[in-house]
Amino acid sequence: MQGNLTALSITIFVILTVVLIGFLAGRDKSVRSSVEEWSVGGRRFGGLLVWFLVGADLYTAYTFLGLTSTAYSAGSLAFFAIPYSVLAFFISYFFLPKLWKVANHHKLTTLADYARERFDSKLLSALIAIVGVLMLIPYICLQLSGIQDTLQVAGTGFINVKVVVITSFLLVALYTFFSGIKGPTYTAIIKDVLVWAIMLFMVVSLPIIHFGGWNPMVDQIVKEAPQLLTIPNSGPKGIPWFITASLVSSLALFMWAHAATGIFTAKSGDALRKNAMFLPLYNIVLILVVFLGFIAFLVLPKGTDPRFALLSLIQTSYGGVAQGLAYSTIALASLIPCSIMAIGASNLFANNIYRDLINPQVKASRLTMITRGMVFVVIGLALLFGLVFPSALVSLQLLGVSGMVQIFPAIVISLFWKNQTREATIIGLLAGLAVTFTVYATGTSFGIYEGFWGIAANFLTVLVLNPFFVKRAQASSTPVKDYLFNQPAEEAHPERRGA
């Protein structure tokens, strides 16, 4: 289908405007003065900025395109995104403020930094960093895929899509290198406002355009496609998959490097508690986006590629201006998370692989430049990977969730378990990864989400092996461990002072 020149023009204009704002956000040289300033903004962001930033890096183009695609092809299985995010925010209320407090006190900028200091183990730190970087590359590729699909629908017949995509991501790499986390933070405000406005506009207008309203639409779904409204009782993706996928994804959500980057920008633990309470508001949008997949199933010609379900629905339903605003929203939901992900991956590589393993004596100024420069490497690898292996991206990202959840015991459990040992934690992490990849490679998940088997093996390994090393753990200590478990009560809970 031929693209729309008006829609394409609006999309490109919005993208270039937002990229320019990203550059302007970094005009103060202080944002490039250190790794802490560049990657986590000096930990000075208030609750509202953190809300926009975390919302921007968790609710990506893949969220909207992927949910619509899943709803179009698999019906109500797409709703698994709702309980998983609610669970994730509920769990985060209890551990993120504590993690933030440790990171703030000890000037840590990655989860791998925390693991190194908590367990006095560069090996564990490097393992977490390697897992984090490897799992993020396909995720960044999916952002590439999102903007590529958007421009392909909007610009067919007008532009060379691959050239424009490569140019777009090069501009994002440049403004990320220049502005650090401040670039995507301020542009995230634009992206999130557009997401709310455009998605709500679509879920109100599309049922009216095609069915005369929501009630007639639901009646038609019940009549013509009732299978969309139920979850299978059995099969490779039935109710057991739905439950375990929701649980594993909720545990993994804040283990991603880009999510941790957003969390460490906060200026207080209270800002994170407020985020845990208010971030679920995004689920209003997610629930409605699933119904866009149902609408696409009823409206689009049979045989439409599910990958293009939302984009094709937009093209079929609206004129050029509305198309352009919708496409630009999806494009920003690709580009801005890509920037945050690149910061997270670059920080992991520079701090926890290069500094910890290759050059421990590196100067702070050089480390800052290496961290910033890695943005081009990370985004370049993602571009290359996405262009060479486009069909493998979604499955690899789903595998990435199963991989990232394996660091949960090393990060979250260790915040509360004083005698957790590094030996049991390392072996548990390796066992969880081995089981996950074995289940995935052999296809023997038995209708359970692959990562569930891995995290079960991980937890079991830690519980069984920990007693064999616990005496050594009790005899040794680290500043982070002392800070977590040996503080006076008034330091651990300053809010209780004067009570």
Domains of the chain, CATH where assigned:
5-393 (1.20.1730.10)
> Tokens representing 294?
């149902």
Least confident of 50-59, 292-301, 422-431, 455-464: 50-59
Which tens digits make up the pLDDT trace of 328-352?
Answer: 888 888 888 888 888 888 899 888 8
Q: What does each C-alpha distance from 422 to 244, 403, 415 come to in angstroms? A: 27, 19, 13
Identity of the amino acid at 409: P
Q: For the chain, what is the mean pLDDT?
A: 84
Cβ partners under 8 Å of residue 35, min gap 6: 109, 347, 350, 351, 364, 367, 368, 371
Which range of 48-62, 273-287, 404-418 scores highest in mean pLDDT? It is 404-418
Which range of 190-194, 252-256, 371-375, 457-461 scores highest in mean pLDDT? It is 457-461
Distance of alpha carbon 459 from alpha carbon 456, whole angstroms = 5
* pLDDT for 497: 43
Would you say residue 394 has pLDDT above 70?
Answer: no
Least confident of 217-226, 392-401, 488-497: 488-497
Cα diameter, the chain:
71
